Amino acid sequence: MNPSPLLGTLLGTAVGDSLGLPYEGLSRRRVTAFSEIRHRLLFGRGLFSDDTEHSLMLASTLLGHHEEASQFQRAFAWKLRWWLLGLPAGVGLGTAKAILRLWMGFPASKAGVRSAGNGAAMRSAVVGVFFHHEPQKRREFALAACRVTHRDPRAEESAVLVAEAAAMAANSVPNVQVIGTLETHLESDEMRSRFATLKTDLAAARTVAEFADGIGCGNRVSGFAPDTVAVALYAWLRHRGNFESAVRSVIACGGDTDTVAAITGGICGAETGEPGIPKAWIDGICDWPRSVAHLRCLAEAMETGAGSAPRIFWPFVLMRNALFLAVVLLHGFRRFLPPY
């Protein structure tokens, strides 16, 4: 097993998220017009979005609440409440509605909305790695985290699949066994049809783009959880052990690029660890106060079981979010110009 799977999955999520963010919402053709996939958001550097922020909040919650799922769920719900008060520039509609319901007094177990968006799946890899030898807890905690914001069965299914994949990546389980295990967690007709295509395309060694074509994502990968998770799983299995190729391939598909790349990076990073992630991609992240250094401290605390989660000074978060919003708006205006 990778000696540092938690660090690998947190770094992998952050790298995929920050690399994919500048391309979010673009069509496949527009993405391929760029000369290469690299950090582009802020003078050639990268920033996190909610994909990484939620994964870090979930990781810090697990650090202090990993015995009883209901306690964990309530603690995570409070982190989400305060996160929204920080005025994040990017938050999914379903997640925003659920957090508002939390503030209105809904209990954490009933706050989730009927949405099959990516909000739960994007943060589930860390649950899978944390409980990589405890399948019952892995499923229980993945569902508990999901239901704080999403209660659609397809969102729950997707969150469980990501957690299972990350656990098997951390344990270096071979593809044949991975596919067989994941099949036992399929529940929706949408995911079953995508999984049938996944198996066929893997056997034929088709590219990630060809697989995306086959499930109806030829122009871009949507924010519908079965689409996002299917593409991420295919990229991991198709480029097993090659973090760079897997992440590049999903970003090149266009659409919800930051989330697809974050999920792909989280799963792949659990397997390759930090050594398998391009150093230039890690060094290119310039976020703060949830920095790469903060991420490393959190991963170390989780892996050793010693100490508590590193603290963040919340006024700094407000400052950062204001800057992030400005950068995102400027980047949006930049899209009206030719690719650079």
Q: Quick check: 339 pLDDT over 60?
A: no
Give residue 3's pLDDT. 65
| pLDDT score at 334 | 67
Per the structure block, which two tokens stand in for 239? 């480029």
Q: What is the mean pLDDT of residues 88-106?
A: 93
> Is there a domain that residue 339 lies in?
no
Q: What angle (nearest 5°) sits at the alpha carbon of residue 126, between those of residues 200 and 314?
A: 135
Q: Which residues pair with 42 in a beta bridge?
A: 45
Distance (Å, rounded) from C-alpha 265 to C-alpha 14?
Answer: 8
**pLDDT above 90 as % of the chain:** 87
DSSP at 281: H
Per-residue pLDDT band for 35 (boundaries 50, 70, 90) equals confident
Residue 22 counted as domain residue: yes
Task: Provide the 3-class DSSP secondary structure of residue 65.
Answer: coil
Helices within 148-242 (DSSP H only): 153-170, 175-183, 189-203, 208-214, 225-238
pLDDT for position 204 = 98
Average pLDDT, the chain: 94
What pLDDT shows up at residue 20?
97
Q: Are 118 and 259 within 8 A, CB to CB?
A: yes
Residue 338's pLDDT is 64
| Residue 26, amino acid | L
> What confidence score (pLDDT) does residue 14 get?
98
pLDDT one-digit tens code per residue, 265-316: 999 999 999 999 999 999 999 999 999 999 999 999 999 877 778 888 889 9
Cβ neighbourhood burial of 299 (10 Å; 0-12, 13-18, 19+)? buried
Report whether pLDDT(340) > 70.
Answer: no
| In the predicted structure, residue 47 carries a pLDDT above the cut 90 | yes
What tokens were used for 216? 């109806």
Q: Which of 103, 121, 151, 114 is nearest to 50 (CA)?
A: 121
Across 188-209, average pLDDT: 98
User: Cβ distance 228 to 260 under 8 Å?
Assistant: yes
Q: Residue 281 domain-assigned?
A: yes
Give the domain CATH number at 201.
Answer: 1.10.4080.10
Q: Confirm whether 254 is domain-assigned.
A: yes
Contact (CB, 8 A) for 112 and 146: yes
Number of domains in the chain: 1
Classify residue 81: in a domain, yes or no.
yes
Residue 239, pLDDT above cutoff 80: yes
**Helices and strands, counts by H and E, the chain:** 17, 0
340 found inside a domain? no
Determine phi and psi for 255, rounding to 5 degrees.
90, -130
Residue 149: count of CB within 10 angstroms of its CB: 29
Give the residue numbers spanning the domain of 192.
Answer: 5-334
Burial letters 241-275, b for 16+ CB under 10 A, else e: ebbbebbbbbbbbbbbbbbbbbbbbbbbbbbbbbe
Whether 24 is covered by a domain: the verdict is: yes
Q: Which residues touch 151 (CB under 8 Å, ≥6 apart)?
A: 112, 113, 114
Which helix H or strand E contains 252, and what residues bound it?
A: none
Is 125 contained in some domain?
Answer: yes
